[in-house]
């Protein structure tokens, strides 16, 4: 594995940590606070960076099955961050997260995590 792919691997693990913290806080408190926004936004930053590094370091086409899964997972997480920031701007910090947003957050994260794991399995093979 070349150094660019190694850097991409490290950065995607940082994205996993950031997303996990943000989703955990939202799921347990059912509220969007500044920590949720911070960690989810940080996750997006790391995820985009890791995606660019993986594309740059790979000898394969960026248009693989796993690539499309990864891009779709990234899009779902970007949508989630837009939704939580919008919710945070329009509501007080005491307002409970609506059920649909609460479920979307968990489903988007689970899908992203599935793609993360499959990427690791593909790399290991």
Q: What is the pTM of this model?
A: 0.93
Nearest to 48 by CA among 87, 86, 18, 83: 18
* Per-residue model confidence as pLDDT tens digits over 19-50: 999 999 999 999 999 999 999 999 999 999 99
CATH number, domain 3-124 = 1.20.120.80
The pair phi, psi for residue 64, each rounded to 5°, is -105, 170
Domain boundaries along the sequence of the chain: 3-124
Radius of gyration of the chain (CA): 15
Nearest to 54 by CA among 12, 115, 17, 117: 12
């Amino acid at each position: 594995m070349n150094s660019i792919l190694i850097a991409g691997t490290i950065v995607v693990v940082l994205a996993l940590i950031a997303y996990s913290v943000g989703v955990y806080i939202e799921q347990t408190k059912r509220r969007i606070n500044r920590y949720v926004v911070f960690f989810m936004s940080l996750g997006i930053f790391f995820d985009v960076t890791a995606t660019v590094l993986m594309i740059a370091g790979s000898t394969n086409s960026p248009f693989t099955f796993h690539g499309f899964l990864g891009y779709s997972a990234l899009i779902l997480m970007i949508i989630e961050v837009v939704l939580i920031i919008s919710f945070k701007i329009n509501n007080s910090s005491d307002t409970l997260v609506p059920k649909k947003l609460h479920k979307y957050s968990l489903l988007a994260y689970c899908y992203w995590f599935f793609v993360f794991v499959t990427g690791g399995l593909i790399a290991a093979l």
